[in-house]
Chain A
Amino acid sequence: MADMISIRSVSRYYGIYKALDDVSLDIGAGEFFSLLGPSGCGKTTLLRSIAGFDTPTSGDIRIDGQSVIGTPPNRRPTNMVFQNYAIFPHLNVEENVAYGLKRLKLDTAEERRRVGAALEQVRLGALGKRGANELSGGQRQRVALARALVMRPKVLLLDEPLSALDKKLREEMQVELRSLQKAVGITFILVTHDQYEALGLSDRIAVMFGGRIAQVATPKDIYQHPLTREVADFLGGMNFMKARVTGETAGELSVETHRFGNVRVSKPLGFAARDGHATLGIRPERLRVLWDDAEADHSLEGQVVDRHYFGEITHLIVDVPGMEKPLSVSETNNFGADDIPVGAPIRLAYDPDALVALRD
């Protein structure tokens, strides 16, 4: 896949505050790429630098091979869907979508055809004459999408486009956004703080903290093999524990844990043991309740100290003797996990492959 966006050592300082700290990143043509991180991590600054609304203090940004440093937003081959959609309030839906085309001086028929096609694409064909203030949140987002896509950008930038919608609509729009991207085939870059959104939509995700990129990987890879403790923690729950490193090869670590036995885990990039110890993690859903007298190759025993009901699943907080912190266990309610009383003894099964070593 050819690189559409190439970001080289980009930094952005506001006084002494580093919004972006030596960020390098390549995004392929036709890729659905997400920038994920907590607020203030620099993801929006990076997106606005690509759009041209923010200028890096140093470094280079190339779009389709061309450096765009110094190019104003109106002459970049990118278009943006703003967080609040920024629909022009004095124009109707069609006029909003046609706004950028007006400068291209197309003939009327061609302009109308392109506006119509863009509205069809976002399933707003019937609402062309609707005023900007007569639209629902979901419709406003579709107008913003159509208005950007009609310009046929090489890259579509989306700044938290779903955060203003309620949960149900958000889930619908996620599905639609994904199929829209497949249909138009251009590069989408999505900024979000919602890990489920990033996991569900993206081809690849970059997780950012404090102006730096912590990890770039596919959703599955980043969820199952987070490099650092921060990334693991941000992408859903994770039980952390300390383990003693007993052996180290180029790609693997042998560690000795308190309750999970001696295991071999793959070594995260850039790993360095601290005082001969490493941080290990296991996701709450990788710990399963062992019912009645069922047996498993690997199991541990504990006691339920707290319980949180979430409808389809229950979170059990299980105290395991010898562990620093109680384990968090996520179990489906199909077998009655929601009926396990607090205080009950419990046995948990796990797969040693589910343990990952993490950089601190």
Chain B
Amino acid sequence: MSGRHGIAKSRWLPAYVVVYLAFLYLPILLLPIFSFNNAAATTFPLAGFTLKWYASLWTNTVMLEAARNSLFVGICVATLSTGLGICAARALTRYRFRGREAANGLLMAPLFLPEIIVAVSLLMIILQIGMELSLATVILGQTVFCLPYAMSVLTSGFEGFDRSLEEASLDLGETAFGTFRRVTLPVVAPAIVSSLLVSFTISLDEFILAFFLSGTEPTLPVYIWGQLRFAAKLPSVLALGSIMIALSIILLTTAEIIRRRAERRIQGA
């Protein structure tokens, strides 16, 4: 058939895809491989299987402290950006008002701004107003950064929400609060959960804002950055990195599955 000529027949295209994917994922695959390698140097050939680098993490109190910080920051950022995102997404999907497009653009803009510039500007302002650098400032900075991601997940969830569902509920005798509990919340819940997971994951991996704004309490990425100066610490950093990658993949996959399932459900309806 004429439609199958051209691109589909090229033998170079599959090769290009393989090279591309290898470039993208091979380095990340090396991380877990070396984290199980029984040698301090990250070179081939491999020296044998070990779990000692993972075990060493559990006794590393500084690392555990950083992990606790990351967890705390992640939960706060996820809650804040999702909370703010819900309000914004509801307003943008439900109401028509002057400046709606502009508001949407401005809220989504941090997605495209150079993160380091945002970080430096935030640092300047925070120092200007005399705020002390702490986890709180990291939370503020990361919330600004995560909001567009939360919003894009939430608006796609809310856009499918049909207002007549709420009317149908009222019509069937339910109160406004009952309608929120029995219809609105269950229908948009997947988008909210998905937004929480996405924001948490981004916060967990985020380095630049955390580096600039964290003061004396490092988050995990900042801690890792500090450890890279010591060659001997590298294998345990690799172990930690592997855990973070696994966690991120699990969280993002879960978020995407929930989001897609909800989208299907709403669109089918």
B-binding residues in A (CB < 8 A): 51-53, 72-75, 78-80, 82-84, 86-90, 99-100, 103-104, 132-134, 147-148, 151
Contacts and interface: CB of A to CB of B under 8 A. Distances in A.
Contact of A99 (B167, B172, B268, B269): B172
Contact of A73 (B165, B167, B265, B268): B167
Contact of A100 (B162, B174, B268): B174
Given A51-B171, A151-B172, A151-B173, A88 B264 contact: no
Counting chain A CB atoms within 10 Å of each CB, which of B187, B266, B268, B269 scores highest? B269
A103 B266 contact: no
B268 A88 contact: no
Contacts of A147: 168, 172
Contact of B186 (A74, A80, A90): A90
A99 to B, nearest CB: 5
B175 A86 contact: no
Nearest to B183: A88
A74 B171 CA distance: 5
Interface of B: 162, 164-165, 167-175, 178, 182-183, 186-187, 264-269
B269 A89 contact: yes
Contacts, number: 76
Given A88-B183, A132-B269, A72 B170 contact: yes
A138 B131 CA distance: 62
Given A80-B171, A90-B186, 9 more contacts: A53-B170, A74-B174, A86-B167, A88-B269, A89-B265, A89-B268, A103-B178, A104-B173, A134-B268
Given A89-B187, A103-B174, A151-B173, A82 B268 contact: no
11 contacts: A53-B167, A53-B171, A73-B167, A74-B173, A78-B171, A82-B164, A86-B167, A88-B269, A103-B172, A133-B267, A148-B171
A198 to B, nearest CB: 23
A133 B265 contact: yes
B interface, over-half SS: helix
Contacts of B266: 89
Contacts of B187: 88-90
Contacts of A82: 164, 167-168
B174 A79 contact: no
Nearest to A48: B167
B226 to A, nearest CB: 47
A104 B173 CA distance: 9
Contacts of A74: 170-175
A80 B175 contact: no
A159 B170 CA distance: 16
B52 to A, nearest CB: 48
User: Ordered nearest first, which 3 A-B pairs have the shortest CB separation?
Assistant: A133-B268, A100-B172, A89-B269
Nearest to B163: A86
Nearest to A72: B170
Given A133-B264, A133-B268, A133-B269, A88 B168 contact: yes
Nearest to B264: A133
Counting chain A CB atoms within 10 Å of each CB, which of B167, B175, B178 scores highest? B167
A148 B170 CA distance: 12
Contacts of A51: 171
Nearest to A51: B171
Nearest to B169: A99
Contacts of A78: 171
Given A89-B266, A90-B186, A79 B172 contact: yes
A137 to B, nearest CB: 12
Contacts of B175: 74
A241 B214 CA distance: 86
Nearest to B179: A74
A357 to B, nearest CB: 43
A315 to B, nearest CB: 39
Counting chain A CB atoms within 10 Å of each CB, which of B167, B171, B173, B265 scores highest? B171
A226 B268 CA distance: 43
